[in-house]
Structure 1
């Protein structure tokens, strides 16, 4: 989100977009769809290129921070004092950028969701810096919120006038393109936008409304695939024939995962308030980095970073970890995500909760007799993603995609129903921005502290 007083794509955050909402109450015409397909595909490709560029920069910096540099001191990525040092200094660096650099890295990610609000152009350089530092420094947050914000702001600034495309539609296409690139498939974006479109009271075919977001998401996913981007999909032993008992044992795992997400959502605003009571970003972000360093020492390298590669590491050889280790990974990662999001780091919460759900699912498979590992992991991921996103479609999609087994979809579609009843009225994993009239520290005031 932009700072107070800014407006327009060059300075203000756009509100949550309504996909296709500017194309008329009866839906877009065929001519409109054809004409707008060009900017839709362009936005998808551009969104993937931004994600790839930032991810590549972060990987280069990560290699320097965690491989090249520690070797000079006789350490490695698992050395406790090195983990603490890197995360503490990462927190201090991000805090300095948020405090002093123009734009202040945009809106606090703890208060935003995937559909905005979005920052102005002035905030983008600082936002790129902090998300790169966060990804490279081992912070337990994903890139989704900042990258979507960057892509939406850039797309609105570049195309609003040149292509005469409504800003809300541009923002929607940037969201779709980025989600397609992040998950490596346009299906994820289509599912997200199905919910958004369903909530709109506008006419026209559902597929007319999804046409442009799907074009952007497909272009983003294809571009990321061509660039060799990672995907949120792994291979586990297939579930096999569905047994009635699997519905009960799977529900136990999914419910436990959802309850963990609900507990995290309840703690989140209190922890966020405690960190931000320190007022100066360089103080509370450095403190957050120190806490993350301690947690990294306790959990080891597998509990650091956004969690996607570490999820693959868990699933590569699940038998290598004891139930106690899996339980520890689950708890440490949840706390690390909450601390990172509360202490002013910029990043999303989906990738870390996927790691949490995976670790919890593996724990369930280890302690519940005869529960197939694929179903256990799918249920663990689905439960906490459902609690974190309040989106049944994306929870089902990620739960099934993460294990690479479509046979889990049938039990997941039944198990998700009671779990949805658990989460629908529970707190959300997002901090509500201050109400109008509530005083908050201004970044310019902070600079004088």
Structure 2
């Protein structure tokens, strides 16, 4: 019989020695996210709110929206073209967590992300900010503790960033329970100890230094009703089908756009198309979608079913265009916006459906399709409508939605890197 290798011994002392680097990485990940967000928010306010009155321009004029997004595309294209490392790989071709980037590529990636967030592009910060924090953690961590493996620092940076992004270590715990970095012979909680410290430090940093609040102004759930199980399942399945439409459309759209070989031309064209979509859907359909979905929810009485369907449709197309042409950004927050709009659409058509059930079930369905991560989908749904009574309904609703997406393509392209003419 083959002799099995004993699992490495893990002691309380060895775990405690991981706490200082985990705290440093978690706090650093939170500070990076805060810094990028503050700078992008300042630039967004300057360009979209302060500049038009000074120029005597109507900020809602169609030509102004198209011009700003076209300029955003041109500037992002220049960064991708000329910055060292070309602002990282084409985001359409990489997972949420990709191999660490070299240090020289990180400034360009940060600049491209700031342009995406400030310019009105329908992408979120998640992929680039994770790549930034992973790259920094690996480079600095390996210099500080050269005997540690890169996977240790990758796990800390991923957990710290997720914890900071959502203001809680729970999301990182759920995500890490699937990826479970490290030696599989070591019990899961021993492997997750340091990443959870990093996630907690990142979340604490974000909560201490920002006013992060992802919850929507939604009427409280009135309590469990057996019929809600069937309703939630139908909504989640329908939303997952909508998500799969985007998944299947993504590779051919990417291929069509990437017939253009120069990044400046490609991203300028993409920005112009996003400007047209922004005119069609209005300001609510632009940007990463977090503030916009909260604003729509706060004034839901002003939105008809047709308007909500338009917002969901425009956002889906804008997400596909932005991700296809190479804007640096993530797809989770825009997908979450689509889910919220689909949930409100259900309520507009069927007023007897509880908004909390409709919105969370739609978010689960769309996120299962886009992220292919059931835990993340459940966590995000309960983040926007934080009610524990919904958990059993959503877990059961996620199962038929998972049957729709299992074995089907993911929202990633096996294709060429970003053009670097």
TM interval, shorter chain, is: over 0.9
* Bigger mean CA offset, 276-285 vs 162-171: 162-171
- Corresponding residue of 1:338: 320
Match of 2:206 among 221, 224, 235: 224
Question: Following TM superposition, by how much is the alpha carbon of 1:233 offset from its aligned partner in structure 2, in angstroms?
Answer: 2.2
* Preserved contact between residue 236 and residue 404 of structure 1 (Cα < 8 Å): no
Partner in structure 1 of residue 348 of structure 2: 366
1:180 is matched with which residue? 163
1:303 to 265, 285, 291: 285
Which secondary structure does the structure 2 equivalent of 1:182 belong to? helix
Q: Distance in 1 between matches of 2:224 and 2:418?
A: 55
8 Å Cα contact 2:90/2:418 also seen in 1:
no
Moved more, 66-75 or 387-396: 66-75
| 2:242 is the alignment partner of 1:263 | no
Deviations 1:291-342 (A, max 9, x none): 0000000000011111111111122122221100000000000000110000
Which TM-score applies when normalising by structure 2? 0.95
Aligned-partner Cα distance in 2 for 1:430–1:229: 33
Alignment counterpart, residue 166 of structure 1, candidates 149, 152, 175? 149
Distance (whole Å) between structure 2 residues aligned to residue 25 and residue 103 of structure 1:
39
Aligned partner of 1:40 in structure 2 is: 22
Q: Offset of 1:29 from its aligned partner?
A: 2.8
Pick aligned residue for 2:173 from 190, 199, 210 = 190
Q: Structure 1 or 2: larger helix share? A: 2
Matched, 1:74 2:22: no
2-side partners of 1:369 and 1:39: how far apart?
51
Match of 1:287 in 2: 269
Q: Distance in 2 between matches of 1:297 and 1:288?
A: 14
Alignment TM-score, normalising by the size of structure 1: 0.89
- Counterpart contact for 1:43–1:174, Cα < 8 Å: yes
C-alpha distance in structure 2 between counterparts of 1:371 and 1:277, whole Å: 46
Contact 1:180 1:186 in 2 (8 A): yes
Can you give the 5+ residue segments of structure 1 that lack an aligned partner in the other structure? Answer: 1-23, 435-439
- Residue 28 of structure 1 and its aligned partner are, at CA, apart by 3.5
Aligned to 2:130: 148
Counting matched residue pairs gives: 415
Structure 2: distance between partners of 1:106 and 1:429 = 19
In the TM superposition, residue 31 of structure 1 has moved relative to its aligned partner by 1.8
Q: Offset at 1:231?
A: 3.0
Q: Which residue pairs with 1:5 in the alignment?
A: none
Distance, in Å, in 2 between the alignment partners of 1:424 and 1:161 is 41
Q: For the residues of structure 1 that align with 2:217 and 2:49, how far apart are their CA atoms?
A: 28
